[in-house]
Each structure stands twice: as structure tokens, then as C-alpha cells.
Amino acid sequence: MSIAISERKKAVPEGKAERIAKRQKLTPPQMAAEYGVDPNKVIGWIVGGELRAINAAANLGGRPRYLIDRADIEAFESNRAVAQPAAAPRRKRSNLSAGLVRHFRGDSE
């Protein structure tokens, strides 16, 4: 049993190493630091269903330990992207003077 740990590890193929790097998971405080928001805001997005995450806690009935995948962050960003609003059609002014009844006292009275 004196096999070194490095000898037991197998070399990871190149394509798989890239996929592993792309599938890196972040914790809510790490994501909050990247976005410049409070970690509770990120947890709120997770609990509210806007941001997908997994609960990696050892005890599922206890405090959650959320992990957020980079692909889920990209999906979250695309869902929250700000789109330019469509230009509203300009309303024409109606001519109110034709049927206008004046109900105030002017200087002429």
C-alpha cells in the first residue's frame, strides 16, 4: 500500500480536461464577488428559481451548500439580458378645442 498518490491518478485526456475546466462550479460567494452583489442576492436567485444550482451539502436536511455551474450562469445571464424596448407608436394629439366647454371664470365675467 505504499503506492504514491500521483501514480494512482490516471492522465486525463485533453478533451475531457477542457470539459472539466468549462464545467467549473462556483459557490454563491464566489459568484457574488464576480458580479459585485451580496451573496444573499445570489442565494435569492437560486431559491427563487432564476438561477440553477445543486445542493452539495452532506446532510440534505441541514444548511444547503449550493454549487453553480458556469453553463447555468450563462443561461441566467441570457435570461436576464436587457433588450432594447420596441419603439411605441406615437400618439396623435386630439383636437379638444372643438368640443371644449370652459368651466372656469375668466376675466371677461
At 9, list the grid cell: 491518478
Give pTM, 2 decimals: 0.56
pLDDT tens digits, residue range 38-86? 999 999 999 999 999 999 998 888 899 999 999 999 999 998 888 887 8
Q: What is the pLDDT of residue 92?
A: 76
Q: What is the pLDDT of residue 26?
A: 93
Helix-strand-coil percent breakdown of the chain, rounded to 5? 35, 5, 55
Q: What is the mean pLDDT of the chain?
A: 79
